[in-house]
Amino acid sequence: MFAVVNAEKIMLSPIIKSEIDMQCPRCHSTQAAKNGRRQNRQCYKCKQCGRQFLESYKPWCYSNDIKQLCLKMHLNGMSLREIERVTEIHHTTVLHWLRQAQSTINNISQSPKN
Ligand SMILES: [Zn+2]
């Protein structure tokens, strides 16, 4: 099955939470400095606005490639739970991307074609 082949490729490729740029929830700057740990999670402090936030504040902060792969897996018929098992990305995160993608598609189809 195509979906399974894709999933294997993903498992072999370095997926990669370390690629994530921590983005400030307030000003969306990625200029965040590590600021100690709290409850076993890395804390960050935004250099732009000074807002402090935890690593997991934006769980959908994965690279665009990872996002595209998850969306492709879903288009190939994998359920969100299956994608979660393969990629270790939470299914609600993938669901968030799906909604994002759908609204993008809606925007495109609503814009005048010329
Ligand atoms: Zn900020």
pLDDT digits (tens, 9 = 90+) for 67-112: 889 999 999 999 999 999 988 888 998 998 889 888 887 887 776 6
Residue environment code for 85-103, b if the CB has 16+ CB neighbours within 10 A, otherwise e:
ebbebebebbeebeeeeee
80 and 111 inside one domain: yes
Q: How far away, in angstroms, is 75 Cα from ligand 1 center?
A: 35
68 and 15 inside one domain: yes
Q: How far away, in angstroms, is 32 Cα from ligand 1 center?
A: 8
3-state SS class at 16: coil
pLDDT of residue 114: 56
40 and 90 inside one domain: no
71 and 114 inside one domain: yes
Q: Write out the residue range of the structural domain in which residue 5 sits.
A: 1-20+62-114
73 and 109 inside one domain: yes
pLDDT of residue 3: 53
3-state SS class at 64: helix
88 and 113 inside one domain: yes
Q: How far away, in angstroms, is 108 Cα from ligand 1 center?
A: 30
Q: How far away, in angstroms, is 50 Cα from ligand 1 center?
A: 6
> Going by C-beta distance under 8 Å and a sequence separation of 6 or more, which residues neighbour residue 48?
24, 27, 29, 31
Chain-centre distance for alpha carbon 89: 8
Domain total for the chain?
Answer: 2
40 and 78 inside one domain: no
68 and 107 inside one domain: yes
Q: How far away, in angstroms, is 47 Cα from ligand 1 center?
A: 7
66 and 10 inside one domain: yes
How many Å apart are CA 49 and CA 99, to the nearest integer?
A: 29
3 and 36 inside one domain: no
Q: How far away, in angstroms, is 113 Cα from ligand 1 center?
A: 38
41 and 94 inside one domain: no
pLDDT of residue 17: 45
**Global pTM?**
0.46
Q: How far away, in angstroms, is 56 Cα from ligand 1 center?
A: 15
Burial label for 62, CB within 10 Å (0-12, 13-18, 19+), is buried
Q: How far away, in angstroms, is 31 Cα from ligand 1 center?
A: 8
